[in-house]
Amino acid sequence: MRFSFFLPALSLLAASCSMQPTPASLSGSWTQPVPGQPGNVQGMRLLPDGRAVSINMHTLLYQSWQLDGNRLTLTGKSMGNGNSSLFTATSTIDRLSRNTLILDTDGTRETYTRMPDADGR
């Protein structure tokens, strides 16, 4: 019975923690653990001017990003086996908060955590 009192409060709290995707709210460094490599992270740095930089990914080189509503498009170059190719990947932003970004790319959900900037934000 007491649980029913907390459910609306939890829903309100969860909704208040979500942010609308904007270039300003997405700019920054976003990382996730590297599978099979405890303690290592990989991800992307989204710069305010639309450039993107890979973090600890030497074969997937992000070059730019664009936001259209709740869709994030990343472009770059894939390097491997002596070949390279350009790519464009579009994901739906399922959730964005100050410290968490959840992307859905063709049914695969990936969770990223914001890294603090050089000034600690």
Taking only the tens place, the pLDDT of each residue in 47-79 is 999 999 999 999 999 999 999 999 999 999 999
pTM of the model: 0.81
Token pair 């959840």: residue? 102
pLDDT of residue 118: 57
Rounded distance between C-alpha atoms, residue 61 and residue 12, angstroms: 39
pLDDT of residue 119: 46
- Nearby residues of 48 by Cβ (< 8 Å), 6 or more positions away: 23, 24, 27
CATH architecture of 47-121: Beta Barrel (2.40)
Query: Which H/E stretch holds residue 61?
Result: strand 60-68
Contact criterion met (CB below 8 Å) for 76 and 87: yes
Q: Round the average pLDDT of the chain to a whole number and report it.
A: 87
